[in-house]
Amino acid sequence: MRVGLLADTHDRVPAVRELLRLMAQGGVSLVMHAGDYCAPFSLQPVHEANIALLGVFGHNDGDPQALKASAAQGMATELWESPHSFEVGGARVLLVHDIGEVSQRSIEEHGIVIHGHTHRPEMRTRGDTLIVNPGEACGWLHGAPTAAIVDLETKAVEVLKLTGPEWQF
């Protein structure tokens, strides 16, 4: 199962829309979001793409109730407090905004850990655990919106990066 990974979208709707388009082209039918949507309207591209979303809140999500209400308008959208542990596609996943807020033991109890917060794409392993930060979908800090696709079975990760002058700062 191929799953899309987003984090730190920070209201940049056009970038989120384009990243979701690339994910759909890549066979993704589920997206995991590691927080910092910011405003409820930032979920609109997810609804338009008709892609299921599992996500956690980040530090900049000022109105979780409004985000949950917006999420309820979409297809199979669930938002939780960070961190959140679940199983999907046979993989035990930990979804967290700031990885510094979870213990080493919690990380090691999962096959895949997805986080955000730093705005930098990162992939590493710790024992049998794959740890992925898809970077910033907004592109506000580092100049290019990024996301990722992970194969839950093989743990192969593909980084998506929007290039071109319309995405650069």
Distance CA 62, CA 69 (A): 14
Task: Please give the pLDDT value at position 71.
Answer: 83
Handedness of CA 22, 23, 26, 29 (dihedral sign): negative
DSSP state of 83: S
**Which pLDDT value is given to residue 70?**
85
* HSE of 163, CA atoms in CB hemisphere, 13 A: 3
Phi, psi for 77 (deg, rounded to 5): -110, 125
pLDDT value for 164: 84
Q: What is the pLDDT along the chain (169 residues), one digit of tens a residue?
A: 999 999 999 999 999 999 999 999 999 989 999 999 999 999 999 999 999 999 999 999 988 899 988 888 776 889 999 999 999 989 999 999 999 999 999 999 999 999 999 999 999 999 999 999 999 999 998 889 999 999 999 999 999 999 988 887 6
What domains appear along the chain, each with residue ranges and CATH number? 2-167 (3.60.21.10)
Write down the residue that tokens 């930060």 correspond to: 133
* Backbone φ/ψ region at 143: left (φ over 0), alpha (ψ -120 to 50), beta: left
Please state, in angstroms and rounded to a whole number, the distance separating the CA atoms of residues 17 and 125: 29
